Amino acid sequence: MREQRDSDISLHSAGQGKTLGFILNPVAGMGGRVGLKGTDGAEVLQEAKRRGAQAVSSDRALIALKRLAASTTPFRLLTGSGELGENIARAAGLDPIVVYTSSPGASRPDDTRNAALVMAFAAVDLLLFAGGDGTARDVLAMVSDRVPILGIPTGVKMYSAVFGTNPQNAGNLAARFVAGESSVRFREAEVMDIDEAAMRSDQVSARLYGYARSPHERHLTQNAKAGSVGNENMALDAVSRQVVREMQPGCLYLLGPGTTTRRVMTELGLPSTLLGVDAVMDGALVGADLNEHELIRLMEGQETRIIVGVLGGHGSLFGRGNQQISAEVIRRAGRDHIIVITSLDKLLSLDTGCLRVDTGDAEVDALLSGHIRVHTGPDRSVFFRVRS
């Protein structure tokens, strides 16, 4: 590891404003559209590439940094060399100071941890990182509560409360922090992660790894994932039975991940992939744990409906853990063919009072925005606002 010492750069010169750190995990999110549940580990990354996965983290981070670069308040940006942050920072029009260069053969988690440690010693005012829950864990392990952190959501798993609701809002919040706006408050935000190996075995093993100090502004940051309670489960069972009764013959149904949609599969008497996307037609399973390309192939010339739940706490509809249902899949199915199922209690508990979409496609996010029908019980639904 080679790093540029504090003595080599004037981090706190008078009149230079705040100092921000930026770390990019360039492989974060690659597993999503190809049906993997994350990109943790060299073997999983290799499998993602074998399936044709494309890098998405840099493009999404660039959106955030462009928002930050538009700030009229001076600030310094510390980052890692090359793809660890320098390249994207320069592409956004920023002039970063490189304080960490990876050693040959270093693993990407090691790069994240080492860069975070360097920035913690440099006493940055805010550490901005681009990745998913695994990246958040690595950053937290190094900085603890010494440095506030904010995540640009670019991963597959983003259940932690340290992330902006989308890259634009992460950049906006960082810019407001730099400007010293009074609306920006700090909170103790949960850093959570789900075991990817357990996920691939169709098991959910969630763990709270700690709390990070993180800037927060309503509508710009997400909450941590929340679970369901008994009364909600009864209502969801009933609405699932109704959804099954109303399924149309000859129509393809794509069922997103989660326990809510699993209830529909249970009513059909079919096995399901808890954290994957399954396809059903005429009461039969026609595809299990499908990736984006497999979904599009099944949809060719076929009327299609998408059935999804709501990620509790977040209020996320698309873009968190269900990236297989990509912008192109949604575009082909059509907004009117999306069936949303959740409990009324879950909707009422959302701090933002709306559902969120973050598909990575501004046109599709705009298409989904507005109000959408949400089924909360048998013969009971509400129209709930959707925001990108």
Domain extents for the chain?
A: 2-216, 230-387
Domain over 2-216 is classified CATH 3.40.50: yes
Q: Is the pLDDT of residue 79 over 50?
A: yes
Q: Which residue has the higher pLDDT, 158 or 89?
A: 89
| Helices within the chain (DSSP H only) | 42-50, 57-69, 86-91, 108-121, 133-143, 167-179, 196-200, 230-245, 259-268, 292-299, 327-333, 344-348, 362-368
The pLDDT score that the predictor gives to residue 38 is 59
Cβ–Cβ contacts within 10 Å for residue 171, how many? 27
The pLDDT score that the predictor gives to residue 233 is 76
Average the pLDDT over 15-21 and give the result: 86
* Alpha carbons 258 and 64: distance in angstroms, whole number: 29
Q: Which residue has the tokens 């929340």?
A: 226
In this prediction, what percent of the chain has a pLDDT beyond 90?
61
Average the pLDDT over 42-70 and give the result: 81
The pLDDT score that the predictor gives to residue 127 is 98
The pLDDT score that the predictor gives to residue 5 is 41
Query: Which tens digits make up the pLDDT trace of 218-271?
Result: 888 987 665 555 456 778 898 999 999 999 999 999 999 988 999 999 999 999
* Alpha carbons 260 and 286: distance in angstroms, whole number: 20
Q: Is the pTM for the entire model greater than 0.85?
A: no
**Which whole-number Å values give the CA distances from 175 to 17, 131, 160, in the listed order?**
12, 19, 21
The pLDDT score that the predictor gives to residue 142 is 95
Average the pLDDT over 92-118 and give the result: 88
The pLDDT score that the predictor gives to residue 13 is 45
- In terms of Cβ atoms closer than 10 Å to its own Cβ (0-12, 13-18, 19+), residue 151 is buried
58-62, 113-117, 247-251, 344-348: range with lowest mean pLDDT: 344-348
**DSSP reduced 3-state for 241:** helix
Q: Is the pLDDT of residue 208 over 70?
A: yes
